[in-house]
Amino acid sequence: MLITEITIPVGAEKPFRMLHMSDNHLSLADERDNERKNTLAAARANAFTGNHPEKLLENLADLMDFAKKENLTILHTGDMIDFVSEANMDYTKKAFEGADVFAAAGNHEFSQYVGEAWEDEEYKAQSFAHVKEAFPGDFWFQTRIVNGVKFIAVDNNYYYVTEEQLHLFRDAVSDGMPAVLIMHNPLYSEDMYAKVTAGKKPQDPPYLFGCPEPLLRTLDDHRYRQQKPDETAVRFLELCNSLPNLKAVLSGHLHKYFASQLDSGVPQYVAGAGYHAEANLYTFI
Regions in the chain scoring below 50 on pLDDT: none
pLDDT at 20 (0 to 100): 98
Residue of 226, 208, 253, 230 lying closest to 120 (CA atoms): 226
Q: Are strands 149-154 and 141-146 parallel, antiparallel or unpaired?
A: antiparallel
pTM: 0.97
Residue of 271, 262, 269, 230 lying closest to 243 (CA atoms): 262
pLDDT at 255 (0 to 100): 98
DSSP character at residue 136: S
pLDDT at 268 (0 to 100): 98
pLDDT at 121 (0 to 100): 93
159 φ/ψ angles, rounded to the nearest 5 degrees: 70, 20
Residue 47 CA to residue 50 CA, distance in Å, equals 6
Residue of 232, 245, 257 lying closest to 180 (CA atoms): 245
Domains of the chain (ranges plus CATH)? Answer: 2-284 (3.30.750.180)
